[in-house]
Structure 1
Amino acid sequence: MLRGQKNISYNSVNLQKENHKPKLLDLVRTELRVNHYSTKTEEAYVGWIKRYILFHNKRHPNEMGKEEIQNFINHLAVNNNVSSSTQNQALQAILFLYKRILKKEVGWIDEIKHATRVKHLPVVFSKKETAKIIDNLTGIPKLVVSLLYGSGLRLSEALRLRIKDIDFDYKQILVRDGKGEKDRHTILPDSLIPDLKKHLNRVCLKYKEDLKRGKGETILPYALKKKYPNADKEFGWQYAFPADKFIKNKDSGLILRWHIHESTIQRAVKEAIKKAGIIKPGSPHTFRHSFATHLLENGYDIRTIQELLGHHSVKTTMIYTHVLNRGLGVRSPLD
């Protein structure tokens, strides 16, 4: 009996250890966060890995390899008609799983049926159209969109902006951890400074009320909470565009104010475009395209615009020269 009881106890301990073993997707999330991948990349990679596993009837990736990866990627292009960039993202997510989590070499994957890469020119608002749309916005959406157009920010960069990274004296904004984990400086429009200061004064009052209620914390990037234990309650670290409601952070368990959601600005822009009577299919990102195109139109050099936008390669920035058609140098015979 005693021997049997020991065996039962030993087996139950083993079972508990197995139950506490991290799940595959949790390991993927941890590895992505340790390597400072963005939240959007994390969501995308985990989503593609899930779809890959479901496509092969929930087989464990360790039991699969090159052939299964190839079949899934080809399926996306042939049956789902995804774009080339989407197909490439799916492949990178699966390769990340094998290389970084499973430590399994799958070799060179050839015979992939690549989706056709279509080169689209970005939609750009004219200066008049931009002014009309912004005039049809109010409140915080108007302020955010003015930053997108006036500073060339991505929507995510504007919403993640911390108060301490707005420099009114030098009239510049420090964008931290932009695309590719790069910091950069960009311009702060003179015309926006008075409204932005008024907005931050209101944010400060709300922040002081939160402190009185025993709240006021914000989420800090990386491991700064350990290095600076009280920084999460400092005003400078607060989001410039905080949400109206508190949320519970699933990682820390803290009740805090996140920044306003992207959909708030997206809906406001869609409505403003409609009110302005503009038929172009624009979005918040269109204002970043318009920022670059209008600077080019005003005679600024391509390298300066590249730095302000934070593009890794000048080739990416060169697309705005095609929008203007400056490279053609041809006058229509009708004119």
Structure 2
Amino acid sequence: MDKKHTRSPVEPATSYSHEFWENYTLFLVKQGVTQKYVTWYVLRTKQYIAYFPDDHIRTHTPQQVEEFLNKVGREVNLKAWQFGQVVDAIRILFCLALKKSWANDFDWEYWSASAKKLDANHATVARDYTDALEGLEMLEGEERCSNELYQRYQPALAEVVKTVRLKNYAMRTEQTYRSWIARFFYFHKPNDAHDLGGKEVKQYLEYLVLKRNVSVSTQKQALNAIAFLFNQVWKRPLDDLGDFIGSKRPRKLPVVLSRDEVRRVFQHLKGTHHLMTGLLYGGGLRLMECVTLRILDVDFDYNQLLIRNAKGFKDRIVPLPERFKEALKQQIAFVERQHQMDLKNGFGEVYLPDALGRKYQNAAKELRWQYVFPSSGVAADPRSGVVRRHHVHETSLQKIIRRAVKQAGITKHATSHTFRHSFATHLLESGYDIRTVQELLGHSDVSTTMIYTHVLNTPGISVRSPADMI
């Protein structure tokens, strides 16, 4: 920007000259803001400046930015991309225009990425609402079938969903079972789904192998879903399938990062995403276990995290890494400030499962039940319509991790779950016994944990290559 137009505003944004904003518009274009969004960026900047009419812009602190973003985040109808635009406009103002030293350390990325709202079928919110049984929405992929077929099998699929929920299976399991059973129906297209039997099951399983070339685990997943349909929903034992063609594609070993690769990835993460990834690796957490962590599940005295109602309906305790302890305390302090502002503005409610919400009717507004990693903004619950502050959407962390892996120059197909694999493998490398690792991961069967012994450099005993002996 031209030096004579870079003076910091003291007056409200509305008192700035037209020439000043024209120059700021040119500055935004030079920073890569596309022409069609420049007007909006200028408007967002004006709104921010006007929010603090009595403060000199150069004296602004990170706490003021946080206060303004929290205020904007409470605008229920603001879309995620619009909130991201607000964050980016203020980032440019402080990082590039005013070049404030604190601005480079402010967690802009988390504010921007965590604004995405949960959809109605998200695993966190969908389970409690029985209206989903009436007029089931098509799952992704089902749109390829005709509407006539969809309507024909909807009652049978509703039976599946009802049984899954009565057994309190995880939402992901519900979606997986329903998806496979729907594909089974659409493959055979019977007039009545109840006419299907063992012969049709065998044909479908062999189709998956011969035509779709699926892996062993995928074929097994389909069989488990169909067996659930017959045994649990229809109460009709599945006929003996006899010998059927099984998948020959081997089960893949998990991708594991070395300790050095983990360090390199962490070098490209910062702020809240650095902390979240640290918990994935340091405690062996699954992605959803991390994003749905609540304040009452953090125990600083014993350096541990309580993972509630994890896969298989089990609670477990995992270590809280010492190196992330202070960052986690700061994150909880931030959540407390945010929660107090939400309560002051008539919000402050968090999602609780229906049974828990009925038992503890005031718990939803208590600090201890708040998510450790909340969304940037409040939003109407996609099913009940209640305005709440949900947890951060898991896809934001996945995206940031993918980018950090690429920036670290790592060519392995590493994802958020890779840090859980690395946690288990590095514990075994350090001499911890397999049963301890099994407990920390929450595996029901030690055979599941045993797969990590196959990726160790020294599985069981130390084996030296003959090439190193000559």
Q: State TM-score, norm by structure 2.
A: 0.63
* Mapped pair 1:166 → 2:298: yes
Q: What residue number does 2:162 align with?
A: 30
196, 218, 243: which one pairs with 1:64?
196
Change over 3 Å in CA distance of 1:248–1:113 after alignment to 2: farther
In 2, Cα distance between equivalents of 1:245 and 1:25: 35
Q: What residue number does 1:257 align with?
A: 389
What is the SS of the residue equivalent to 1:108? coil
In 2, Cα distance between equivalents of 1:76 and 1:318: 28
The count of corresponding residues between Structure 1 and Structure 2 is 316
Q: What residue number does 1:332 align with?
A: 465
What is the SS of the residue equivalent to 1:217? coil
**Contact 2:214/2:249 (<8 A) preserved:** no
Q: Which runs of 5+ in 2 are unaligned?
A: 1-133, 136-153
Of residues 25-34 and 272-281 in structure 1, the stretch that sits farther from structure 2 once superposed is 25-34
**Contact 1:53/1:60 (<8 A) preserved:** no
Q: Max radius of gyration: which structure?
A: 2
Q: What residue number does 2:247 align with?
A: 115
Change over 3 Å in CA distance of 1:63–1:321 after alignment to 2: closer
What is the SS of the residue equivalent to 1:186? strand
Pairwise mapping of residues 122-161 of structure 1 onto structure 2 (< 5 A)? 122-161=254-293
After TM superposition, where is structure 1 displaced by more than 6 Å over at least 4 residues in a row? none
**1:137 Cα deviation (Å)?**
0.9
Of residues 215-224 and 125-134 in structure 1, the stretch that sits farther from structure 2 once superposed is 215-224
Q: 1:243-269 deviations in whole A, cap 9, x for unaligned?
A: 223444345342323222222111111
Q: State TM-score, norm by structure 1.
A: 0.87
**1:169 Cα deviation (Å)?**
0.8
Q: 1:276-300 deviations in whole A, cap 9, x for unaligned?
A: 1111111111111111222222222
Percent sequence identity over aligned pairs: 46
In 2, Cα distance between equivalents of 1:284 and 1:170: 26
Change over 3 Å in CA distance of 1:153–1:230 after alignment to 2: same
**1:198 Cα deviation (Å)?**
0.8
In 2, Cα distance between equivalents of 1:116 and 1:56: 24
In 2, Cα distance between equivalents of 1:138 and 1:171: 22
Q: What residue number does 1:227 align with?
A: 359
Change over 3 Å in CA distance of 1:244–1:66 after alignment to 2: same
Change over 3 Å in CA distance of 1:91–1:157 after alignment to 2: same
Letter in 2 for 1:331: R
317, 324, 333: which one pairs with 2:449?
317
Q: 1:152-176 deviations in whole A, cap 9, x for unaligned?
A: 1111211121110110111001111
**Contact 2:216/2:251 (<8 A) preserved:** no
Of residues 298-307 and 160-169 in structure 1, the stretch that sits farther from structure 2 once superposed is 298-307
Of residues 264-273 and 289-298 in structure 1, the stretch that sits farther from structure 2 once superposed is 289-298
Pairwise mapping of residues 297-316 of structure 1 onto structure 2 (< 5 A)? 297-316=429-448
Q: 1:194-229 deviations in whole A, cap 9, x for unaligned?
A: 111111111122222222333322222361122111
* Mapped pair 1:216 → 2:322: no
**Contact 1:246/1:258 (<8 A) preserved:** yes
Change over 3 Å in CA distance of 1:48–1:305 after alignment to 2: same
* Mapped pair 1:47 → 2:179: yes
Of residues 273-282 and 246-255 in structure 1, the stretch that sits farther from structure 2 once superposed is 246-255
Change over 3 Å in CA distance of 1:316–1:97 after alignment to 2: closer
Q: What residue number does 2:212 align with?
A: 80
What is the SS of the residue equivalent to 2:309? coil
Change over 3 Å in CA distance of 1:121–1:26 after alignment to 2: same
* Mapped pair 1:180 → 2:318: no
**Contact 1:53/1:59 (<8 A) preserved:** no
Change over 3 Å in CA distance of 1:57–1:37 after alignment to 2: same
* Mapped pair 1:271 → 2:433: no
What is the SS of the residue equivalent to 1:176? strand
Give the root-mean-square deviation of aligned CA atoms: 2.1
